[in-house]
Amino acid sequence: MSGIKQWRTGTSFYRGWYAGCLVFAVVFTALSFFCHPGSDDYMLGFLTSQTDYLDLQRELYLKWQGRYFSSFLIPAWAAGSLRYHVYWLHPLLLLLLTFFAVWDLLRQMSRLYQVAVNSRLLLFVSSLVLLALVFTLPSVFEGYFWLVGSLAYQPGFIMLLLLAAQYCRMALLPAGKRRRPLGLSVLLSVLLAGSIEIVILVALLALLYWWLFINRPGLRKEMIVITAVIATGALFTALSPGTLERTAHMSRSPLAVFISFGYWPVRAITTIASQPLFWATCICLYAGGSRFGLPAGMRPLGYRNWLWLLLLPFIALLPILAVSGGSLPLRLLNVVVQCWVLLSAAFFYWLGANRPLAMPVMQQLVNWKWLLLLLLVAGIIKNGYGRNLVQGYFYDQVMHRNEMLLRANRFEADAAETDYKRAVRAVYRQIPPGLQKELLWETVKNVPDLIGNYSDFENFNEKSAISLYHRSVFR
């Protein structure tokens, strides 16, 4: 057991791991400051400045969508980010909140299932799971950096994790002391039901699973309340005039829908499977299950239960595909992927608890723990964070230059540079000649895919959202 103890408490390994996490955090922070608003952000900023906020909410609910929480949050946040120049804030806040939600859920689950982990090991596993969630995203741009897309989807996923953590809290407490976690669960349920459809469907299917397969007698009253709140909010969202109006005009081809039922789950799984850190996370959770196990007397889950749980995010996807005609934005697939990553990690822990590794194998895993740090660095490189850091600097300069040109030319149609390569070359020529290498130019001539989108300026005109917003602010 000495090897396992060393795996849990090795100071040098933790220092190396957190140094790698710090590198990722610094790069992510820099990219957040290089990020710039898009046309949807500018349009919401313009509408907020021209319309009473409650009137705008009524307009969105009646004519566009029933997502009452997202509709209330996003226009105000977009307007504030533009007005106070804090567009960098939302990616950092979303990353921190996602980390906190993962950490809180793992902490409460370890208490519920009597897994005696210390705070340092819990922090390590939480950071490992967070990085697996970020690296497996089909679109980091839509998941974190684009304000409208990220605030529409990621908060719903975060609230789903927080709600699961509150359930674990209630399961640990006697019936008379559950008022506070139940109150927080009701609040989270109200907000979750007004966020995004995929999260609502995942929550409803998770509740159905609970009632069919878990159904703990001591928690039925609380779960009735939570189920009623989410179901009521879901109906309020799904049956809103705006939602019905929008979905009525979507084109649907039965063949396209049928093909999409297979295409999108396969794409999600292949995206996840291509990330080595995901498999490393699963192996670590398997080893954790082998080491800590599950409490004696706990009602065991079978393979059939886990099959339904692993299929749950994809089952939630089917109604959306049927309504949308088989098309999906990647930000929606982000939520499905994150749910599946967490469920896969939990499955591997359960698998390790039921089929523990032999001690020699565990010792080999201990000896190879430094490979995790190499996979973290490889993930940063493989997913383009280093390349985007270089590209992001030039992208940031181009976007600032365009804004100056717009103001100087009173937002005329030909004021901004519509060709990105020509715009970035003007910035590239300003760096010292010794740095102007062909390899550098081949890198910086492209828009950074993790944070950038130049299509707004490529299609710029006097009636575009960027021009409308700036004219309303600087008139």
Q: Are residues 273 and 413 in the same domain?
A: no
Q: How confident is the model at residue 357 (pLDDT cuts 50, 70, 90)?
A: confident
How high is the pLDDT of residue 115? 85
Q: Are residues 335 and 395 in the same domain?
A: no
Report which residue type is found at 196.
I
Q: How confident is the model at residue 253 (pLDDT cuts 50, 70, 90)?
A: confident
For the stretch 130-170, pLDDT in tens is: 999 999 999 999 999 999 999 999 999 999 999 999 999 99
Q: How confident is the model at residue 452 (pLDDT cuts 50, 70, 90)?
A: confident
How high is the pLDDT of residue 436? 79
Q: How confident is the model at residue 10 (pLDDT cuts 50, 70, 90)?
A: low
Q: Are residues 293 and 414 in the same domain?
A: no
Residue 4 reports pLDDT greater than 50? no
Q: How confident is the model at residue 2 (pLDDT cuts 50, 70, 90)?
A: very low
How high is the pLDDT of residue 104? 97
DSSP 357: P
Q: Radius of gyration (Cα) for the chain, nearest Å?
A: 24
Mean pLDDT within 17-28: 96
Q: How confident is the model at residue 456 (pLDDT cuts 50, 70, 90)?
A: confident
Determine how many CB atoms are found less than 10 A away from the CB of residue 294.
17
Q: How confident is the model at residue 368 (pLDDT cuts 50, 70, 90)?
A: confident
Q: Are residues 451 and 355 in the same domain?
A: no
Q: Are residues 172 and 289 in the same domain?
A: yes
Helix intervals (H) in 295-384: 303-324, 330-354, 359-367, 371-382
Three-class DSSP category at 329:
coil
Q: How confident is the model at residue 356 (pLDDT cuts 50, 70, 90)?
A: confident
Mean pLDDT within 7-36: 88
Q: How confident is the model at residue 361 (pLDDT cuts 50, 70, 90)?
A: confident
Mean pLDDT within 42-48: 90
Round to whole Å and give the CA distance between 453 and 395: 10
Q: Are residues 453 and 327 in the same domain?
A: no
Domain membership of residue 393 as a residue range: 385-474
Q: How confident is the model at residue 3 (pLDDT cuts 50, 70, 90)?
A: very low
For the stretch 434-445, pLDDT in tens is: 877 877 889 899
Mean pLDDT within 106-126: 91
Boundary residue ending a domain (354, 382, 410): 382
Boundary residue ending a domain (356, 382, 408): 382
How high is the pLDDT of residue 166? 97
**Mean pLDDT taken over the chain:** 89
Range with top average pLDDT, 24-33, 56-65, 438-447: 24-33
The residue ranking higher by pLDDT, 112 or 92, is: 92
How high is the pLDDT of residue 242? 86
Q: Are residues 297 and 434 in the same domain?
A: no
Q: Are residues 416 and 372 in the same domain?
A: no
How high is the pLDDT of residue 31? 97
Q: Are residues 329 and 398 in the same domain?
A: no
Q: Are residues 275 and 294 in the same domain?
A: yes
Residue 290 reports pLDDT greater than 50? yes
Q: How confident is the model at residue 296 (pLDDT cuts 50, 70, 90)?
A: low
Long-range contacts of 92-100 (CB under 8 A, 24+ apart): 92/28, 92/29, 92/32, 94/144, 94/150, 94/151, 94/154, 94/155, 94/158, 95/28, 95/130, 95/134, 95/144, 97/155, 97/158, 98/130, 98/133, 98/154, 98/157, 98/158, 98/161, 99/126, 99/127, 99/130
Count, residues in the chain:
475
How high is the pLDDT of residue 181? 96
Q: How confident is the model at residue 1 (pLDDT cuts 50, 70, 90)?
A: very low
Residue 295 reports pLDDT greater than 80? no
Residue 211 reports pLDDT greater than 90? yes
3-state helix, strand, coil in the chain (%, to 5): 80, 0, 20
Least trusted range by pLDDT, from 8-12, 53-57, 150-154, 382-386: 8-12
- CA proximity to 395, closest of 449, 439, 433, 431: 449
Residue 6 reports pLDDT greater than 50? no
**How many structural domains does the chain have?**
2
Boundary residue ending a domain (337, 361, 382): 382
Mean pLDDT within 445-452: 92
Contacts of 447 (CB under 8 A, 6+ apart): 391, 395, 420, 453, 454
Mean pLDDT within 242-265: 86
Q: Are 6 and 366 in contact (CB under 8 A)?
A: yes
Q: Are residues 348 and 390 in the same domain?
A: no
Least trusted range by pLDDT, from 138-142, 282-286, 311-315, 368-372: 368-372
Q: Are residues 85 and 164 in the same domain?
A: yes
